[in-house]
Copies of this chain bind each other. A is one copy, B any other.
Amino acid sequence: MSPETQQLLSALGDRLGAGGVLAGSDVDQRYRDDPDGKLGALPEAVLRPRDTAGVAAALAACNRLGQPIVVQGGRTGLTGAARVQPGEVVLSLERMTGVDAPEAASIVAQAGATLQAVQEAADGAGLMFGVDIGARGSATVGGNVATNAGGIRVLRYGMYRAQVLGLEAVLADGSVLTSLKGLPKDNSGFDLSQLFIGSEGTLGVVTRAALRLHPKPASEVNAFCALPSLDAAITLLGLLRQKLGPLLSAYEVNFAPLYDAMVASMDMPAPLPAGSPVYVLAEIQGNEPERDGERFAEVLMQAVEDGVIEDVVVSQSPREVRALWAVREDANRVLFSIKGLIGVDISIPLARMGAFLQEADAAIHAMDAGADIYVFGHLGDGNLHYQVRTVDPAAAYDIIYRGVAAAGGGVSAEHGIGLDKKKWLHLVRSDAEIATMRRLKAALDPGNILNPGRVFDLGPPALAK
């Protein structure tokens, strides 16, 4: 064990209680886990506070010693922000999993609680939490805040930022900022909670969150549609928004040939035959169970008559709703089975999406005629998950990200930047913006101990113009 780690462990002493510090052979391999399979280093120590005071003590000690920390929640992030780098100690929120009972339209949860625990607590009180993502069972509140998580219902409820009524966070020096009143409207000074949303653990460690809850919809109906083109899918999105307004809650897309590959090996009945260029899963959440499905079907049938939709199935029961969502999630089964696939999570203005897809396809196939491209995503938000199997992944990344930047898009729609996308950040953010991010980092974490090297590297200090 390094002298630094020994100093830290002795500084924290009994402060974190039994099981609060793991070191040496007590450190489990799971702290190296990474969903992308890029194993992190085995940390020399893991700090596992039980409460906010413990987090504050851990950070204050690390800050005094200049000990870098990597913050871990559910380790489901897709850009390596929680991947242990050599010399880092892990600060894990895994023992802070408390979820309070919902009060009025809000709930307070500790950072280590899973998304699913929040969803279930809301549901138990007849309410609903607005964010849902595939990793719900392991992704945590803290990680969701730190990455400003997105998912399938951003269209209706907004990103994770829109769910946050307030946070408690600990700064690198151990200062605790508590803003958990849960007020929907409060302009009493700067809203400091905003700093910690989407900054990937680089500015402070979130310990608790006051989250907004919504009335539980009385009905949920979805539909799976085959469409002749992306343009048709964008037209249908506009139609559904116009006719159904705020009821529309999800609008997911799946392009050929991904759906074809899914159908070829699906272990459930395919809702529609393969062969169309574009498939969409649309969902509404309403308050009139006896009527919402019928209205939704009417709008869809009109779109069929107008040639916007080629074919459609509308769910007739909660079981069918789940079955259509299972088809959407089946994309991952196929994609995980393909060796050597690279994937990006990009944001493109809808008006430029068609041109971007055509140009990226042409450029990738010019570079590697045998490349396979699989695209799905959250079309309602302009967010695509774009996968390529190619002999030259580096060239493919370059083509895609430069195309995204040229189209006025973002190199990360919902996953964040972490370690793995840092080198592309400059394509979409100016020097002045990156210099300002560094200024904030220097102001709140002058010793650079919190998730160092995530999002950006500390360059030379930003110079005033």
On whether the beta carbons of A286 and B245 are closer than 8 Å, the reply is yes
Q: How far is the CA of A159 from the CA of B187 in the complex (A)?
A: 10
- Contact A189–B456 (Cβ < 8 Å): yes
Taking a contact as CB atoms under 8 Å apart, the answer to whether A440 and B443 are in contact is: yes
Q: Is the CB of B198 within 8 A of A185?
A: no
Which residue of the partner chain B has the closest CB to A183? B347
Chain A, residues 252-288, CB within 8 Å of chain B (1/0): the string is 0000000000000000000000000000000001111
In the bound complex, how far is the Cα of B432 from the Cα of A60, in angstroms? 14
Residues of chain B within 8 A (CB-CB) of A194 are 161, 191, 194-195, 197
Known: A443-B442, A465-B174. A455 touches B189 (CB 8 A): yes
- Interface status of A313 (Cβ within 8 A of chain B): no
C-alpha gap A386/B441 in the complex (Å): 40
Asked whether A359 is an interface residue with its Cβ less than 8 Å from the other chain, the reply is no
Given known contacts A176-B432, A192-B436, A246-B246, is B351 in contact with A187 (CB within 8 Å)?
no
Knowing A158-B162, A162-B162, A243-B287 are in contact, say whether A432-B177 is a contact too (CB < 8 A). Answer: yes
Segment among A46-54, A94-102, A412-420 that sits at the interface with chain B: A412-420
B410 & A351 in contact (Cβ 8 Å cutoff) = no
In the complex, what's the smallest C-beta–C-beta distance from A110 to chain B, in angstroms? 19
Is A371 at the interface (CB under 8 A from chain B)? Answer: no
Give the complex CA separation of A176 and B432 in angstroms.
7
Known: A245-B286, A349-B181, A443-B443. A187 touches B416 (CB 8 A): yes
Q: How many residues of A contact B (CB 8 A)?
A: 91
Assess whether A433 is interfacial by the CB under 8 Å rule. Answer: yes
CB distance from A239 to the nearest CB of B (A): 11
Contact B436 A186, beta carbon cutoff 8 Å: no
The residue in A182, A197, A246 that gathers the most chain B C-beta atoms within 10 A of its C-beta is A246
* A437 contacts partner chain B, Cβ-Cβ < 8 Å: yes
Binary flags per residue of A198-222, CB closer than 8 Å to B gives 1, else 0: 1100000000000000010110000
Asked whether A173 is an interface residue with its Cβ less than 8 Å from the other chain, the reply is: yes
Report yes or no: B104 in contact with A181, Cβ–Cβ below 8 A.
no
User: Is the CB of A459 closer than 8 A to any CB of chain B?
Assistant: no
Contacts of A425 in B (CB 8 A): 188-189
CA–CA, A458 to B167, complex, Å?
24
Is A409 among interface residues, defined by CB-CB distance under 8 A? yes
A377 nearest in chain B by CB position: B185
Contact B417 A189 (CB under 8 A): yes
When C-beta atoms are compared, the residue in chain B nearest to A287 turns out to be: B245
List the B residue with the shortest CB-CB distance to A442. B443
Question: Which residues on the B side are within 8 Å of A189 (C-beta)?
Answer: 417, 425, 428-429, 433-434, 437, 455-456
A190 beta carbon closer than 8 Å to chain B: yes
Within the complex, the shortest CB–CB distance from A81 to chain B, in Å, comes to 11
Closest B residue by C-beta to A288: B295
Binding site for B on A (CB under 8 A): 60, 63, 103-104, 147-148, 150, 154, 156, 158-159, 161-162, 171, 173-179, 181-192, 194-195, 197-199, 215, 217-218, 241-247, 285-288, 295, 347, 349-351, 378, 381-383, 408-417, 421, 425, 428-430, 432-437, 439-440, 442-444, 455-456, 464-465
Q: A185-B414, A189-B455 are in contact. List 14 more A-B contacts (CB 8 A).
A: A150-B187, A154-B184, A154-B185, A161-B194, A177-B433, A181-B408, A183-B413, A185-B381, A187-B198, A187-B415, A190-B198, A192-B437, A218-B245, A245-B285
- 18 interchain pairs, CB-CB under 8 A: A63-B464, A147-B187, A148-B187, A158-B162, A175-B465, A178-B430, A181-B409, A185-B382, A187-B412, A187-B413, A188-B428, A189-B429, A189-B456, A190-B440, A191-B197, A215-B242, A217-B245, A247-B287
